[in-house]
Structure 1
Amino acid sequence: MKIHPTAIIDPKAELHESVEVGPFCVIDKDVKIGEGTVLDSNIRIYSGTYIGKFNKIYSGVALGGIPQDLSFKPETKTYLEIGDHNTIRENCVFHRGTKEGEATKIGNNNFLMGNIHVAHDVIIGDDNIIVQSSMLAGHVVVGNKVFISGLVGVHQFARVGDYSMIAGLAKVVKDVPPYSTVDGNPASVIGLNSVGLKRAGLSSDVRNAIKKTYKIIYHSGFNTKQALTELKKDSNPIPEVQYIIDFFESGKRGITDHRAVGGGSSEE
């Protein structure tokens, strides 16, 4: 292993032989770090943090610290689990879970820019980009292929659906529907994440089906329950439409409302 002489590593930490640890890193016991992961400098990794393969973690990051939850008891055994091929930039702070045996979880291939806060019990999927200084409160769930712009705040227990985009400075207090773009304070749906869907390779037929689905939900005059009933008349929807239906039906905080931009219709 390439371990800088100023690094402090507990003998009970488990590091793959290929792990690199830079200057002034501190790693507690009950930490596991997988093959090919590189730690830059001045990184603090607390007990109960498990990191997968080929991650790149930059200076000033703190991983797996005690949750900022006044009811949390420090002796509670909880975890932070990070997958493979993630980039975690400078000064990010990720906390572990709050319930015995449970974890804050980050998936694979995520690009997490500087100063991001991931609070206790958050779940982040795969292939997401989260931009500088955004904050995810406790129990937030982020899907896959999501783009969260800078200085965004997401309320505790909110969900962010797959392929969605949150604009900069947005205040997210309800669930963000999949494939949508939201903006504002509080955030509202302003249209589809059309650029993201094209870049992800979704066909025009799939994009049109998603657009039609949201027209029924937001532009038909139905309330949400009525719109979902209308959508479920199709006994064999494509997976993307079924995911939208399931997302709306499983929400607990409510779904972000739609608003038109500049007084007109925003369907794209």
Structure 2
Amino acid sequence: MADIHPTSVVDPRAKLADSVKIGPFCVVGPEVELGEDVVLRSHVVLDGDTRIGAGTEIYPFASIGLAPQDLKYRGEKTRLEIGARNKIREYVTMNPGTEGGGSLTKVGDDCLFMVGSHVAHDCMVGHHVILANNATLAGHVVLGDFAIVGGLSAVHQFVRIGPHAMIGGMSGVEHDVIPYGSVMGDRASLCGLNIVGLKRRGFDKETIHRMRSAYRMLFADEGTIKERVADVDEVFGTEEAVRQILEFVRVQSSRGLTQPRSLGAGE
């Protein structure tokens, strides 16, 4: 049987793995499902159709799975899925989806959500993602694997942030961020590739050099973005990381691309 502190209120219809540990003063709703070795430290509220994967640990005063902060939401049946081995720190909030956004908010595995961070309705968050203190995702945001969102940053609804991207602290992100990109600013601009992240992920010097050359070509002043994408594809299209960037840019998006203020900044 799950280890449940006597001060916690757990609906008998909730599905709990035998190895779940629930500390004092938690509230768990009837449609919640907790996988093996999930830990609720204390004062955690879980509600809605919420599934939490094995080994995830949730800290005090987190509010997970309650109704979306969306005036269009009318109580329709929607879900929140959180993967395995995540760390969800104090005061984090995560909301389920809405009917207009696919009815699902999804978080991958091995992520860290620091104090006060927020994942809004219909977001799709990848694996190994970090949201620093008070970083916030508006509705329908897509966040790729290994992306990092710095403290006190805000990401506009429907923005896509590619894998391995870095969002600097206190940034306002209004437009899509290319994979491996680094952005910062109160209205964020692209300031180069996430070189530190690339090195930490084991990219070698030659690969990073080719990626930087492709970046310069992609954001050069000459030609249209379509023409520059074709040029980069012709010269660097065999490089896997460059292909990821090109595929990201080719996708039609309502938000447009975050651009550099001047080519060479950070490069």
- TM above 0.5, yes or no, is yes
Mapped contact 1:175–1:251 kept (Cα < 8 A): no
Question: In structure 2, what is the Cα distance between the partners aligned to 1:52 and 1:28?
Answer: 16
What does the per-residue CA deviation read over 1:17-39, in whole Å, with 9 as the maximum and x for residues that have no partner?
00000111111111100001100
After TM superposition, the structure 1 = structure 2 runs for residues 63-212 of structure 1, keeping only pairs within 5 Å, are 63-74=64-75, 76-99=76-99, 102-212=103-213
Code of the aligned partner of 2:90: E
> How big is each residue's C-alpha offset from its partner over 1:144-177, in whole Å with a ceiling of 9 and x where there is no partner?
1111110000000001111111111100000011
Following superposition of structure 1 onto structure 2, how do residues 252-267 of structure 1 map, counting pairs within 5 Å? 252=253, 253-260=255-262, 265-267=264-266
Q: Please give the alpha-carbon distance, in whole angstroms, between the structure 2 residues aligned to 1:92 and 1:267.
A: 32
Kept in 2: contact 1:34–1:52 (CA 8 A): yes
Q: How many matched pairs? A: 264
Shift of 1:56: 0.8
C-alpha distance in structure 1 between counterparts of 2:252 and 2:169, whole Å: 24
Question: Alpha-carbon deviations, 1:193-234, whole Å to 9, x = none?
Answer: 111100110112221221111111113523311111212325
Q: Distance in 1 between matches of 2:242 and 2:176?
A: 17
Measured against aligned partners, the alpha-carbon deviations of 1:77-117 in whole angstroms (never above 9, x if no partner) come to 10000000100000001000001872100000001101011
TM-score, scaled relative to structure 1 = 0.95
CA, structure 1 residues 235+113, in 2 after alignment: closer, same or farther (shift >3 Å)? closer
Q: CA RMSD in A?
A: 1.5
- Structure 2: 5+ residue runs without aligned partners? none
Distance 2:113 2:148 in 1: 10
SS of structure 1 residue aligned to 2:65: strand
2:87 aligned partner, one-letter code: T
Residue matched to 1:26: 27
**Equivalent residue letter for 1:72:** Y
**1:234 & 1:197 partners in 2: Cα distance?**
21
Equivalent residue letter for 1:258: P
Shift, 1:267, TM fit: 4.8
Whether the 8 Å contact between 1:216 and 1:222 is mirrored in structure 2 is no
* One-letter identity of the residue aligned with 1:131: A
Cα distance in structure 1, aligned partners of 2:27 and 2:198: 41
TM-score, reference length from structure 2: 0.95
Matches of 1:89 and 1:222 in 2, distance apart? 46
SS in 2 for 1:5: coil
Q: Which deviates more, 158-167 or 97-106?
A: 97-106
SS of the residue 2:37 aligns to: coil
Contact 2:189 2:259 in 1 (8 A): yes
Q: Which residue of 1 aligns with 2:54?
A: 53
Aligned CA distance change for structure 1 residues 34 and 208 (closer, same or farther; 3 Å): same
2:78/2:103 contact within 8 Å kept: yes
Conserved? CA contact 2:214–2:236, under 8 Å: no
Separation of aligned partners in 1, 2:240 and 2:264? 26
Measure the CA separation in 1 of the matches of 2:109 and 2:192: 28
The answer on whether the counterparts of 2:162 and 2:179 sit within 8 Å (CA) in structure 1 is yes
Q: Percent of aligned pairs with the same residue?
A: 38
